[in-house]
Amino acid sequence: MADYVQVSTATETHEQAVELARSVVSGRLAAGAQIVGPVVSAFWHEGEFGTGEEWRLLLKTRMDRYAELERHLLEHHPWKNPELVAVPIVAGSDACLRWVDSVVGTHASE
């Protein structure tokens, strides 16, 4: 099942998260998106410690679509160097994974 991944990133505003979700799902780079937030993040950035509120974006896709999804997110993300990570889905219901396949499996990005 490592053919599937959950990709996460974050944005400063809810509207930015919704726009990224819309663009990747409508382009069939991800089967679905969940937006969670606001969440509080603590981080080091440019040598300084900081905290802030962010909106977490979780995307479900196949590993063979990850590179294309990453390119899209990096091109359209409002931040210059956003957090962008993919975690393997090691288990999932057959119906859910078939759904991911049906959405992203045979379509080229738009």
Q: pLDDT 10s per residue in the chain (110 long)?
A: 459 999 999 999 999 999 999 999 999 999 999 999 999 999 998 899 999 999 999 999 999 999 999 999 999 999 999 999 999 999 999 999 999 999 998 654 44
Res 45: pLDDT: 87
**Using CA atoms, how far apart are residues 43 and 88, in angstroms rounded to an integer?**
24
Res 105: pLDDT: 82
C-alpha separations of 41 from 6, 51, 90, 91, 101 in Å: 19, 5, 26, 28, 32
Res 61: pLDDT: 97
**Using CA atoms, how far apart are residues 33 and 24, in angstroms rounded to an integer?**
9
Res 109: pLDDT: 42
